[in-house]
Amino acid sequence: MDETQELVDYLHERATELLNELEAFERAVNKLPARERAVLVSRYIVGMQFKEILKKFPMSESTMYEAHQYGLELLDMTELDKIALEWY
């Protein structure tokens, strides 16, 4: 097998692994309660600051921070950290 084919095979295998990890992440996020999902998606997927989240969703600052923390706990961040570390 030549180097080009080896590279193509490696990239295909890695792309498949990343797709599986993204699908697992999406399933986990979709299982979150609505408020926690809204806060975490806004913060980490959309990239909003906490002040922007408060403007978008009607909740107190303390409720938002509680939803953020509880959402992270529900996601079992140790597993998601492993996935994120593999991406970088």
- The answer for residues whose C-beta is within 8 angstroms of residue 61's C-beta and 6 or more apart is 50, 54
User: How far out from the chain centre does Cα 59 lie?
Assistant: 22
Number of domains in the chain: 1
pLDDT score, position 46: 87
**CA-based end-to-end distance of the chain:** 29
Q: What is the pLDDT along the chain (88 residues), one digit of tens a residue?
A: 789 999 999 999 999 988 887 788 788 888 899 999 999 989 988 889 999 999 999 999 999 999 999 998 888 765 555 555 555 4
pLDDT of residue 65: 96
Q: Are 71 and 30 in contact (CB under 8 A)?
A: no
Q: CATH number of the domain at 77, please.
A: 1.10.10.10
Q: Which domain holds residue 55?
A: 3-87
How distant, in Å, are the alpha carbons of 14, 21, 38, 52 from that of 88? 13, 14, 25, 27
